[in-house]
């Protein structure tokens, strides 16, 4: 009775606190035409300038109000990724309490940000640590995954129908609650299903339920996908699938650890697909899963096995077609290496987690420009290096820039007219053919007069580059120097003009004409690594 009363009050509170009622807009959705995917929110294309909360922050509204909202307000974010904890919303079976979720939605509205909710359900980073007490303690009903040596894990086996039933019930109740309080305003714009799903400490589960499936035939749904997408499969699958179209997992993929990983990935993907479909049937929000990446030189199980990692994207696409995308969490260097496999026509790019460090600003620019990303999100966003001045974070400066060029990003996403650059000490230059010229991009520190050159500081450089017409470029970036060469032999490229520009509500506002020292007497376009700005250059050949 008490709980129901509190929930009803929370719903009333959320409704009363609506700051921007966007009544009657369509439910947030992905709109795809050709190579272009737009994320439509409140009937407009939306780009997520995101940040993900540290795992435990959203478990206390009081903590959020004191420590989180005031900090993140200053970083130019328009989206917060926040967990929803199964253990808190269903403390006893079938009794749901959405107070914390509803308070979060209400506070997000007050702070003028959207929410991506992360369902910390059956698994969070492989483990079943967020399932409620009544599940944790009932190991007869919710059977555990077993390691190869027969040890029980704190992971409920994905082969358990009881687990799926309970997970679906809670997930549907969550979506029903969101729909009830939010279908008109759309503060909640997307759902992450589970978190970094993967198996440990071996490549697969060895429980009796899993063993039975492992000895069975590979399902037709997977074989059809492999057959229909034979040419474009990831190199890993091309290597391990022997082309056979019937048989067991080892008969198709070999008697090796990767066959086990593929098997486990299939059953995770199909589990998630059922969960996502059940949730979407209640409230059709876009849904995705995030990946804990595999470590170079480690075997499945040494790294969290079977998640939607680059090697297994096709298994996940085949098993979970209901998902709108698969998204990598980046905690390693080599940003391009890890993210580019996700840039596919069947998969828009979203970086839901990136270690919150000084590189995130430049990497976000690269993600929006080169990978045509729909969003980016450093992890533990409420913990900037300087808690008193979060606006000094590179991500804040980047998001200011991204916010101003959002109409351009939306216009050129999915076209050949937008690309990105990422430069650092290890890769101080890059060359690309783009917009009718060859572009030579160098890090700002390559200039002899760069002030950071001598003190050894290498702020990462990056840019979104858009070429509306051949020989014209809009460069939104930091720490880069661009020179140009024509594609025609025996000619040279010259700069007609460079203008400093800003954008306000999609309108271009010209600033200074940049010439003389600012473009090295017509030799290059330069943006210092201490600055985040947009310049527009027009070229000619002679
Ligand atoms: C990745 C997980 O998805 C996050 O929830 C968090 O645990 C981070 N790792 C911590 O680095």
pLDDT tens digits for 339-398? 999 999 999 999 999 999 999 999 999 999 999 999 999 999 999 999 999 999 999 999
Instruction: Report which of residues 16 and 130 the model is more confident about.
Output: 130
Give residue 505's pLDDT. 87
Give residue 456's pLDDT. 87
Instruction: At 92, list the tokens.
Output: 């006893």
Instruction: Indicate if the pLDDT at residue 5 is higher than 50.
Output: no
Instruction: At 374, list the tokens.
Output: 């729909």
Distance 303 CA to ligand 1 centre (A): 14
Cα–Cα distance for residue pair 145/116, rounded to 1 Å: 29
> Ligand 1 pocket, 382 CB below 6 A?
no
> Tens of pLDDT along 91-105?
999 999 999 999 999
Q: What's the whole-number mean pLDDT along residues 183-194?
A: 98
Best of 304, 379, 381, 382 to mutate for ligand 1, by most ligand atoms within 8 A of CB?
379
Instruction: Decide: 130 and 121 in contact? Cβ < 8 Å.
Output: yes
Instruction: At 250, list the tokens.
Output: 């080892």
Give residue 208's pLDDT. 98
User: Residue 103: which region, alpha, beta or left (left: phi > 0; alpha: psi -120 to 50)?
Assistant: alpha
Give residue 8's pLDDT band: very low, low, confident or very high (50, 70, 90). very low
Nearest ligand 1 atom to the CA of 118 is: 5
Instruction: At 377, list the tokens.
Output: 């999100």
Instruction: Decide: 330 and 338 in contact? Cβ < 8 Å.
Output: yes
Instruction: Decide: 83 and 123 in contact? Cβ < 8 Å.
Output: no
Distance 289 CA to ligand 1 centre (A): 13
Best of 196, 293, 356 to mutate for ligand 1, by most ligand atoms within 8 A of CB?
196
Give residue 20's pLDDT band: very low, low, confident or very high (50, 70, 90). very low
> Ligand 1 pocket, 159 CB below 6 A?
no
> Ligand 1 pocket, 196 CB below 6 A?
yes
Instruction: At 297, list the tokens.
Output: 């030189």
Phi (first) and psi of residue 6, to 5 degrees:
-60, -45
> Ligand 1 pocket, 207 CB below 6 A?
no
> Ligand 1 pocket, 38 CB below 6 A?
no
- Minimum CA distance residue for ligand 1 atom 5: 55
Instruction: Indicate if the pLDDT at residue 4 is higher than 50.
Output: no
Give residue 455's pLDDT. 86
> Ligand 1 pocket, 379 CB below 6 A?
yes
Instruction: Decide: 445 and 458 in contact? Cβ < 8 Å.
Output: yes
Burial of 40-71, coded b for 16+ CB within 10 Å and e otherwise, reads bbbeebbbbbbbbbebebbbebeebeebbbeb
Distance 179 CA to ligand 1 centre (A): 28
> Ligand 1 pocket, 329 CB below 6 A?
yes
> Tens of pLDDT along 390-449?
999 999 999 999 999 999 999 999 999 999 999 999 999 999 999 999 999 999 999 999
Cα–Cα distance for residue pair 484/472, rounded to 1 Å: 11
> Ligand 1 pocket, 52 CB below 6 A?
no
Nearest ligand 1 atom to the CA of 196 is: 3
Helix H or strand E segment including 47 = none
> Ligand 1 pocket, 353 CB below 6 A?
yes
> Ligand 1 pocket, 85 CB below 6 A?
no
- Token pair 């969101």 in the structure block, residue: 178
Instruction: Indicate if the pLDDT at residue 17 is higher than 70.
Output: no
DSSP string, 354-390: EE-STTHHHHHHHHHHHS--SEEEEESTT--SSTT-G
Enumerate the β-bridge partners of residue 463.
421, 477
Instruction: Decide: 259 and 250 in contact? Cβ < 8 Å.
Output: yes
> Ligand 1 pocket, 55 CB below 6 A?
yes
For 235, 308, 332, the CA distances from 295, given in Å and listed in that order, are 17, 14, 9
Distance 278 CA to ligand 1 centre (A): 26
Give residue 292's pLDDT. 98
Count the Cβ atoms, other than its own, within 10 Å of residue 233: 17
- Minimum CA distance residue for ligand 1 atom 4: 55
Residues in the chain: 542
Give residue 6's pLDDT band: very low, low, confident or very high (50, 70, 90). very low
Give residue 25's pLDDT band: very low, low, confident or very high (50, 70, 90). confident
DSSP string, 69-84: HHHHGGGT-SEEEEEE
Cα–Cα distance for residue pair 99/8, rounded to 1 Å: 9
Phi (first) and psi of residue 245, to 5 degrees:
-115, 10
Best of 50, 51, 53, 55 to mutate for ligand 1, by most ligand atoms within 8 A of CB?
55
Q: Tell me what percent of the residues of the chain surpass a pLDDT of 70.
A: 96
Q: What's the whole-number mean pLDDT along residues 290-316?
A: 97
Enumerate the β-bridge partners of residue 19.
none
- Minimum CA distance residue for ligand 1 atom 6: 55
> Tens of pLDDT along 138-164?
999 999 999 999 999 999 999 999 999
> Ligand 1 pocket, 192 CB below 6 A?
no
Distance 377 CA to ligand 1 centre (A): 12
DSSP 231: G
Give residue 240's pLDDT band: very low, low, confident or very high (50, 70, 90). very high
Cα–Cα distance for residue pair 105/312, rounded to 1 Å: 34
Distance 506 CA to ligand 1 centre (A): 36
Distance 56 CA to ligand 1 centre (A): 11
Distance 128 CA to ligand 1 centre (A): 14
Give the chain's radius of gyration (CA, Å).
25
Instruction: Indicate if the pLDDT at residue 1 is higher than 60.
Output: no
- Token pair 């967020």 in the structure block, residue: 130
Distance 368 CA to ligand 1 centre (A): 23
> Ligand 1 pocket, 120 CB below 6 A?
no
Cα–Cα distance for residue pair 418/441, rounded to 1 Å: 15
Give residue 3's pLDDT. 47
Burial of 297-310, coded b for 16+ CB within 10 Å and e otherwise, reads eeebbebbbbbbbb
Cα–Cα distance for residue pair 408/398, rounded to 1 Å: 15
Distance 364 CA to ligand 1 centre (A): 19
- Token pair 């200011």 in the structure block, residue: 400
Phi (first) and psi of residue 232, to 5 degrees:
-105, 10
Cα–Cα distance for residue pair 347/343, rounded to 1 Å: 6
Report helix, strand or coil for 348. Answer: coil
């Amino acid at each position: 009775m008490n709980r129901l009363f509190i929930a009803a009050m929370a719903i009333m509170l959320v409704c009363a606190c609506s700051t921007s009622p966007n009544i009657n807009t369509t439910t947030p959705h992905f709109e795809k035409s050709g190579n272009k995917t737009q994320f439509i929110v409140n009937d407009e294309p939306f780009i997520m300038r995101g940040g993900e909360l540290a795992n435990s922050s959203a478990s206390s509204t009081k903590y959020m109000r004191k420590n989180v909202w005031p900090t993140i307000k200053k970083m130019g974010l328009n989206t917060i990724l926040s967990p929803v904890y199964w253990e808190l919303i269903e403390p006893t079976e079938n009794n749901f309490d959405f107070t914390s979720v509803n308070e979060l939605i209400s506070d997000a509205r007050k702070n003028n940000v959207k929410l991506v909710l992360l369902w910390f359900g059956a698994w969070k980073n492989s483990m079943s640590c967020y399932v409620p007490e009544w599940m944790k303690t009932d190991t007869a009903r919710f059977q555990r995954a077993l390691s190869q040596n027969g040890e029980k894990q704190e992971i409920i086996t994905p082969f358990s129908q009881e687990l799926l039933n309970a997970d679906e019930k809670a997930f549907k109740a969550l979506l029903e609650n969101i729909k009830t309080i939010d279908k008109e305003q759309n503060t909640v714009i997307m759902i992450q299903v589970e978190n970094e799903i993967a198996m440990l400490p071996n490549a697969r589960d060895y429980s009796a339920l899993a063993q039975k499936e492992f000895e069975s035939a590979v399902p037709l749904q997977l074989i059809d996908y492999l057959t229909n997408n034979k040419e474009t499969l990831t190199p890993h699958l091309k290597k391990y699938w022997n082309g056979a179209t019937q048989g067991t997992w080892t008969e198709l993929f070999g008697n090796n650890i990767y066959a086990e990983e593929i098997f486990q990935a299939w059953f995770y993907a199909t589990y998630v697909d059922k969960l996502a479909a059940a949730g979407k049937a209640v409230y059709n929000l876009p849904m995705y899963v995030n990946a804990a990446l595999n470590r170079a030189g480690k075997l499945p199980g040494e790294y969290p096995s079977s998640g939607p990692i680059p090697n297994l994207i096709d298994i996940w696409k085949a098993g979970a077609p209901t998902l709108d995308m698969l998204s990598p969490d980046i905690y390693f260097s080599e940003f391009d290496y890890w993210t580019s496999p996700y840039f596919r026509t069947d998969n828009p790019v979203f970086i839901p987690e990136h270690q919150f460090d000084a590189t995130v600003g430049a990497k976000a620019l690269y993600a929006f420009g080169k990978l045509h990303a729909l969003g980016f999100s450093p992890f533990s966003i409420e913990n900037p290096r300087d808690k008193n001045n979060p606006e000094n974070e590179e991500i804040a400066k980047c998001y200011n820039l991204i916010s101003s060029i959002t109409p351009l990003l939306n216009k050129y996403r999915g076209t050949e007219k937008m690309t990105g650059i990422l430069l650092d000490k290890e890769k101080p230059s890059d060359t690309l053919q783009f917009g009718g010229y060859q572009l030579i991009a160098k890090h700002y520190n390559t200039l002899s007069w760069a002030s950071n050159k001598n003190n050894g500081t290498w702020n990462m450089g990056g840019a979104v580059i858009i070429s509306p017409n051949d020989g014209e470029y809009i460069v939104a970036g930091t720490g880069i120097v661009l020179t140009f060469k024509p594609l025609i032999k025996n000619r040279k490229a010259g700069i007609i003009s460079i203008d400093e520009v800003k954008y306000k509500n999609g309108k271009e506002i010209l600033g200074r004409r940049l010439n003389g020292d600012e473009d090295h007497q017509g030799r290059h376009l330069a943006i210092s690594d201490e600055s985040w700005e947009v310049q527009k250059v027009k070229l000619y050949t002679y």
